[in-house]
Amino acid sequence: MKCKFRILTICYTTLFFIAMPAKALWQERYFNPKPLTDDIILPMPCDGAMAFRKVIIPLNNPLDDFGIMLGQDGDDWGYLEQSRPEYISGSFSSGNGEKYRYYLMAKYELNILQYKALISDTCPTPTNNLRLPQVNVGWMDAMNFANKYNIWLRNNKIDRIPMEDGALGFLRLPTETEWEFATRGGLNVSASEFREPYFPMPDGINHYVWFAGAQSSNGKLQLVGLLKPNPLGLHDMLGNVAEMMFEPFRLNKLARQHGQAGGYIVRGGHYLTPQSDIRSALRIEESYYDNNGQNTNKMTGIRLVMVAPALTSRQRIHQIEEEWRNLGVATNASSFNQEGKTLDAIARLASSTHDIQLKQQLEKLRLDIRINTQTRDEQRDQAIRSFLQLGAFMCTKLKDASEFYEVKKGFYNTMCNSDPEFVNKELCPIRLKELNSAKKTLDFVADYYADTLVDNSITYNREVIEPQVSVVKQLMDSRGKTNLNDYLNVYWSQLQDYWKTKKISRSEWLFQCKVVN
């Protein structure tokens, strides 16, 4: 009972910590020079602190993950950076009825003050120079720093550690996927922006990245957080110091990574990297050791992430087991009857035969079918998310076309359908032509909208579309397009009505899009 009460207490205080970040006795400029209202703050020794940002993934079940494409297209540096598919998920559940998961990434590169506060025997006096990134640290020392920080939090501030399903989170170096997803802007950028060489920089690269040359770093290491952040609110993801990754380096072999694991990976470039080489895909191998011991240099630093174990409790394991059993089994009821029966038949054959080789072949066949079904379902879900976004966008275009037509109609009626004495015989034919053109545009958009809605209602059913609606809403929220969610609600409602009535209602659909504020 005492243990249960302790867990509940930790859960409550953790939620309070996330909602109300604590203040450290260090002045904020030493650990969070560019504060945001939704920053998450973890305490450190010496009354210090470290700032973190949420990196959100729009799925909430333990086995859900989000497909992304990392690396860059083309043959340049292909053996290092060729684009490849990866998947990402978050460690922590969103709570509050929201359907997403997230991990926490340090908002800034680890600075000297933070490093000394944990490693030194005495507390350092905060000074501006200690805001420089900590460099000349080997990979093993970086892991040791994370280890010391985790132990200190558990011994001194356990109530401030985020939890997932009763399990305490922990700090480590980021994986390549975690780092590159966050660097590119995560959900806060569009799919096309995500694939650009680096995240959107509307004010020019000099305002976001420290790179080589007199117009930027001028060959000198810079204080953390001086420049503007990326779309997730993370500073210096590119440039200033390169950042260590958690896993060992592997070469790229077209769409997959090579089998040999080498040294460790550093990402992002640094203050001596030429501007032309700055890119989100940039990855370099560093050896763990040189001839003198641990490999360290003045261009490589540290950025931590806060994550949680995957198998957090017996209940969570049962949930994962159930989800795993359903992987590759068609979720579409109409497909399930056929595919489910096929899988069951193969399983029965495999269990009844005494031929070991045949049993193995049958089990492999069953696994291959499940893998193919899962791949197909993931591709289908991506297509559904795309057409839902298109439907919401087309609803806005339907509204725009309708309003434009009404304006042209008003001009024509005012100038050409009023008192004959005031009709401009030269201008009215032009107004009429503009009115007819606006009507044709409206009709085209309305027809295209109706065709798209009907096609999608025939191609997919409610069972597979509905789970993706919440995902698309989360995507739009993250990209600052919350107004599109109102149009998405209209489109989703119209889809459901069409499944019930099978009635194409262009005028009603037009009106419903038109009245969205």
Residues 382-403 have pLDDT tens digits of: 999 999 999 999 999 999 999 9
Q: Do 366 and 244 have their domain in common?
A: no
Q: Do 221 and 366 have their domain in common?
A: no
Q: Do 223 and 319 have their domain in common?
A: no
pTM of this structure: 0.86
Q: How does pLDDT run across 303-343, given as a tens digit for each residue?
A: 999 999 999 999 999 999 999 888 888 655 555 556 777 88
Q: Do 363 and 401 have their domain in common?
A: no
Share of the chain above pLDDT 70, in %: 92
Q: Which of 307, 331, 350 is the last residue of a domain?
A: 307
The C-alpha atoms of residue 238 and residue 122 are separated, in whole angstroms, by 32
The C-alpha atoms of residue 276 and residue 238 are separated, in whole angstroms, by 12
Virtual torsion, Cα 303, 56, 66, 318, nearest 10 deg: 100
Q: Do 257 and 330 have their domain in common?
A: no
Of the ranges 170-174, 358-362, 462-466, 470-474, the best mean pLDDT one = 170-174
pLDDT at position 217 over 80: yes
pLDDT at position 87 over 90: yes
The reported pLDDT for the residue numbered 286 is 97
Virtual torsion, Cα 298, 300, 302, 308, nearest 10 deg: -150
Q: How many distinct structural domains can be found in the chain?
A: 3
The C-alpha atoms of residue 517 and residue 509 are separated, in whole angstroms, by 15
Q: Which of 263, 285, 307 is the last residue of a domain?
A: 307
The reported pLDDT for the residue numbered 215 is 94
Q: Do 351 and 388 have their domain in common?
A: no
The C-alpha atoms of residue 183 and residue 180 are separated, in whole angstroms, by 5
Of the ranges 85-89, 376-380, 476-480, 482-486, the best mean pLDDT one = 85-89
Share of the chain above pLDDT 90, in %: 74
Q: Do 360 and 419 have their domain in common?
A: no
Q: Specify whether the CB–CB gap between 41 and 16 falls below 8 A.
A: no
Contacts 24+ apart (CB under 8 A), 483-489: 484/389, 484/392, 484/393, 484/396, 485/392, 486/516, 486/517, 487/391, 487/392, 487/393, 487/395, 487/396, 487/513, 487/516, 488/388, 488/389, 488/391, 488/392, 488/395
Q: Do 487 and 413 have their domain in common?
A: yes
The reported pLDDT for the residue numbered 429 is 85
Q: Do 327 and 402 have their domain in common?
A: no
Res. 60 pLDDT band, cuts 50 70 90: confident
The reported pLDDT for the residue numbered 338 is 67
Q: Which of 281, 307, 333 is the last residue of a domain?
A: 307
Q: What average pLDDT score do residues 249-262 get?
A: 91
Across the chain, mean pLDDT equals 90
Q: Do 323 and 174 have their domain in common?
A: no
pLDDT at position 15 over 60: no
Q: Do 228 and 155 have their domain in common?
A: yes
The reported pLDDT for the residue numbered 165 is 94
Whole domain around residue 335: which residue ranges?
314-376
What Å distances lie between residue 109 and 52, 243, 255, 265, 386, CA to CA? 11, 8, 31, 16, 35
pLDDT at position 14 over 70: no
Residue 46 belongs to domain with CATH number:
3.90.1580.10
Res. 24 pLDDT band, cuts 50 70 90: very low
Q: Do 68 and 150 have their domain in common?
A: yes
